[in-house]
Amino acid sequence: MTCDELELLLPEGADDPAVQAHLAQCASCLQSAEVLAAAAQPPLSPSEKAKLGGLSSAVQSQWVRLQHRRGRVQQVLGLAVAAALGAVIASGVMWKLNPARPAPQPLAVEPRAQPQVLVVLEDASPLAADDESSFEVSWPSLNEEGDVL
Amino acid sequence: MSSQSPRAALRLVPVGPRSDSGLCRDFLTGDAGAFGELVRRHQEVVFRLLRRYTRTADDALDLSQRAFLQAFEAARRSLPRLQQGAVEIPFRAWLLRIAVNLAKNQARDASKWPAAPVEAIDAEGQSEAAPAHEQLVRLQREALTRQAVLQLPRRQREVLTLRVDGGLSFGEVASTLGITEGNAKTHFHYAVKRLREEIRKLAPDALEDK
C-alpha cells in the first residue's frame, strides 16, 4: 500500500490492520492520520443529541406552516387573476353591448383670451351724468335766466 | 386457519429500508411518518457538517432545519416525476449540497464576526473535571486544526468536511459537489497537505514531537 493509497482510506480506515502496519513504519502518513483525527469534531454531547431528537418535529411543523402560507398566497393570487380576467371580460361585454357610441370629437382649441380694454369715457357728455344740470337745461318752463315762464 | 392468498402473504414479508425517493414520494402524498423517517435518517450527518461552522448547537440546529426544508421543497418540485415512479431523486445529495452551501454562507458571515466555533463546541462537550496537561495540549491542537480547516480553500474544505464529518465515500462526495471522483480525491490530498503545513505554522511543536 502506497502513501497516496493510504491517505484515501483515512480517516475512517485508520483502524484497519493494514493501515496500522503502514502507519507504524511511515512518519509522514502518521502525521496525516493525526491531523485528520484532530480535524474531526468531538462526538455529539448529550444536550446536542437531545436537541437533535426534536429536529424532526420542528422541521415538520415549519413545513406545514410554509405550505399553509403557500396555499394562502396561491389563493390570493388566484382571486386576483380571476378578478382581473372578470374586469377584462366585463369591459369587453360592455363594449359589445353599446357599439354606437359617438366618435370622439377632437378637442377644440380655445382662443386665447384677449387683454381687457379699458373703456374710454371721455366721449360721454359730462351733463349726461349730472342729473341736476340736465334737469335745468331740459326744463321747458324756465327761460335762460331761470324765470318761470 | 389463514385465508391469505400467496400474493397477500408476499406483501407481509419484511423488506429493507425504503429508499429516500420512496420516502419523499410517500411524504409528499400525505404520509407524515415518511417525513420523520427521512429527517431521522440524515439529521446527524447534516448537523455534524453544519456544527463546524456555527458558534452554538442551536445555530447548527437552525441551519439543519433550513437545509431540510430546502431539500423537501426541491423534492416537492420533483413530485410529478416522482409519481411516475421511474425516477429516483438524489435526496441525500441534494440535502448535503444544500447543507454545504449553507455552511459556506455561514463561513462567509462568520468572517465578519469574532466567532470561536470550536471553542464553543468544546466547552459544551467537555463538562467533566479539569483535564490533565496532556489533554489540554491535545484539545488545543484539535482546536487549532479545526480552525485551520475553516481557513482551507472552499472546495478543499467542502471535500474534507464531507469526508471527515459526513463520513462520505469519495463517490458520494463527488456526486454531492458535482465534481468527478478523481477531482474529489485530489482536493482531499491537497487539503490534508495544506492542513499539515498550517498546523506546523500555527503550532510548530504539535507535529515535531511525534
Number of domains in chain B: 2
Residue B4 lies in a domain: no
**B13: DSSP letter:** S
ipTM confidence? 0.71
Q: Provide the pLDDT confidence category of residue B210 given band limits of 50, 70 and 90.
A: very low
Task: Specify the pLDDT at position A148.
Answer: 60
More confident residue, B113 or B64: B64
Contact call for residues A6 and A19 (beta carbons, < 8 A):
yes
* Percent of chain B predicted with pLDDT > 70: 76
- If asked whether residues B98 and B151 sit together in one domain, one would say no
Contact call for residues B49 and B103 (beta carbons, < 8 A):
yes
d(CA A27, CA B7): 61
- Domain ranges across chain A: 1-42, 56-94
Contacts of residue A23, defined as CB under 8 A and 6 or more positions apart, other chains included, come to: A6, A14, A29, A30, A33
Task: Specify the pLDDT at position A112.
Answer: 72
In CATH, what number is assigned to the domain containing residue B30?
Answer: 1.10.1740.10
Q: Which helix (H) or strand (E) holds B84?
A: helix B79-84
Q: What is the pLDDT of residues B47-62, one digit of tens each?
A: 999 998 888 889 999 9
Task: Please state the separation of Cα A57 from the chain's center in Å.
Answer: 36
- If asked whether residues B53 and B27 sit together in one domain, one would say yes
Residue B6 lies in a domain: no
Per the CB < 8 Å rule, is B160 touching A44? no
d(CA A43, CA A10): 18
Res. B202: pLDDT tops 50:
yes
Q: Which of B92, B114, B136 is the last residue in one of the domains? A: B114
User: What's the Cα-to-Cα distance from A28 to each of A6, A18, B114, B152, B192, rounded to whole Å?
Assistant: 11, 16, 34, 20, 11
Interface test with B, best of A7, A30, A32, A63 (most B CBs within 10 A): A63
Per the CB < 8 Å rule, is B124 touching A47? yes
d(CA B160, CA B173): 9
**Which among A12, A51, A60 is the nearest to B32, CB-wise?**
A60
Q: What is the pLDDT of residues A38-92, one digit of tens each?
A: 888 888 889 999 988 888 889 888 888 988 888 888 889 889 999 999 999 999 8
B95 touches chain A (CB under 8 A): no
- If asked whether residues B195 and B133 sit together in one domain, one would say yes
Q: What is the pLDDT of residues B180-200, one digit of tens each?
A: 999 999 999 999 999 999 888
Res. A115: pLDDT tops 70:
no
How large is the average pLDDT for residues A132-139? 53
How large is the average pLDDT for residues A25-32? 89
Residue B123 lies in a domain: no
| Domain extent at residue B109 | 17-114
Q: What is the mean pLDDT of chain A?
A: 79
Residue B195 lies in a domain: yes
Interface test with B, best of A35, A36, A56 (most B CBs within 10 A): A35
Interface size, chain A vs chain B, as Cβ–Cβ contacts under 8 Å: 108
- If asked whether residues B172 and B105 sit together in one domain, one would say no
